[in-house]
Amino acid sequence: MSYDVALYILKQLSVDRFYSGNQLAKELGVTRTTVWKAVQVLQLYGIDIYSLPGKGYRLATGVELLDHDRISDGLKGADLIGSVKVLPSINSTNHYLQRLAQEGEPGGSVVFAEFQSEGRGRRGRHWASPFAKNLYFSLLWRYSDTQCGVGGVSLAIGIAVVNALEAMGISGVGLKWPNDLFYRGRKVAGILLEMSGDPSGDGYVVIGVGINVDMKGVSGTEQITQPWVDLATLNSGCALSRNMLAISLLQSINSMLLQYQISGLSQLIQRWNVLDVMFGRKVVLHGVNESRCGTAQGIDDSGALLLRNNGNVFRIHSGEVSLRLAENSGDLCS
């Protein structure tokens, strides 16, 4: 069964009335069994669909699918954004775009997915990706002999995402070095950058962004291993338009990359430090072989975390380290 059948059915269903299986089958030119199987697929993706014999199907809650034309039209004038793809299901938008990049895909290409079977966060962690609930997308940025390097790109993108959320009326979201977005101790978004090439020469970066938009009714959230929150909760329970959010995010990222190409992080440090949820707090950095503690002091213009310990300030580059608040600062940090 093709995704086209399932997507057509999803577009036809609403929260207001039941839609009969016979009518759906007639419109699609398929059997009732095919319609039933398509509904099962949608339910496996996490779409809450009511089924009532003799009446048909309807949605428990509204679903806004991503609209390629609407997103593309909203990005006119965004100099760095090229083609936009919207896929129904994929293993990972980063994986997909990395493959295209290796085949010569031009910079500025963007890939959205309604569902990811292997969504990933930093350090290989799983990223929950229910169908048509959140935003998952990747952007290909090609660079050539950039004077600013690429070490600070993830931090710049974090600021761009906060700027976009504020433009959508969501305030209070902060940044956690190097690439997470938090609201009062709960994660709302993450950024994953994967680079190929010379950091100071020619190469490309695949910029992946995942944002919890509306997780209401999603099953399996109890398996998420850290505190989280979605934008609907931050918006008084009202879901944001995923299409409008997609446009706002890409416009903001486009502007940020244009600025970054000129001045790197030098003009962004103050903004980052204002948004830094760890600034001035006692933290522990967990690495592969050791842990280090101290007081977070923001970032420098290379994107390194500044960590003060015993009167010394150390510069920490992301690598394979994890930043956490010191659980017992009296024992761990001076």
- CATH-assigned architecture of domain 68-273: 2-Layer Sandwich (3.30)
**What would the pLDDT profile of 84-119 be if each residue is shown by its tens digit?**
999 988 989 999 999 999 999 999 999 999 988 865
What's the predicted TM-score (pTM) here? Answer: 0.89
CATH number of the 3-59 domain: 1.10.10.10
pLDDT, mean of residues 266-294: 92
pLDDT at residue 174 tops 90: yes
324 included as an active-site residue? yes
Instruction: Find, among 226, 236, 15, 250, the residue nearest to 126 by Cα.
Output: 226
Cβ atoms of 148 and 263 within 8 Å: the answer is yes
Show me where the domains of the chain are located: 3-59, 68-273, 278-332
Instruction: Find, among 273, 293, 299, the residue nearest to 333 by Cα.
Output: 293
pLDDT, mean of residues 123-152: 78
DSSP H/E element including 203: strand 202-211
Quick one: pLDDT at residue 329?
46
Q: Which of 120, 122, 133, 176 is catalytic?
A: 122
| 278-332: CATH class | mainly beta
**What would the pLDDT profile of 247-258 be if each residue is shown by its tens digit?**
999 999 999 999
187 included as an active-site residue? yes
Q: Which of 11, 32, 123, 324 is catalytic?
A: 324
Q: Which of 58, 70, 187, 292 is catalytic?
A: 187
Instruction: Find, among 42, 45, 27, 34, the residue nearest to 218 by Cα.
Output: 45
Which residues, 6+ apart, have CB-to-CB distance to 58 below 8 Å?
A: 13, 14, 15, 16, 17, 18, 19, 49, 50
17 included as an active-site residue? no
